[in-house]
Structure 1
Amino acid sequence: QNSRTKDIPVIMLTAKTSELDKVKSLDAGADDYVEKPFGIMELISRIKAVLRRSKKNESRVESFKDIVVDYDRYLVTVKEKEVKLTHKEFELLYYLVKNQGLVLSREKIMNEVWGFEFEGETRTIDVHIRTLRLKLGDAGKYIHTIRNVGYKLGD
Structure 2
Amino acid sequence: MRPWGEGPESARELLPYVDDVSLVDLVSDFEHATGHDVPGAYAGIILDFFNFGDLASYLTGRPDSPYWAKRGVVALLGCDCGEVGCWPLEAHVVTDGDLVTWRGFIQPYRPGRDYEGFGPFVFHQHQYQRAVREAVTATSRSQ
TM-score, scaled relative to structure 1? 0.26
Higher strand share: 2
Computing the radius of gyration from Cα coordinates, the structure with the larger value is 1
Higher helix share: 1
TM-score, scaled relative to structure 2? 0.28
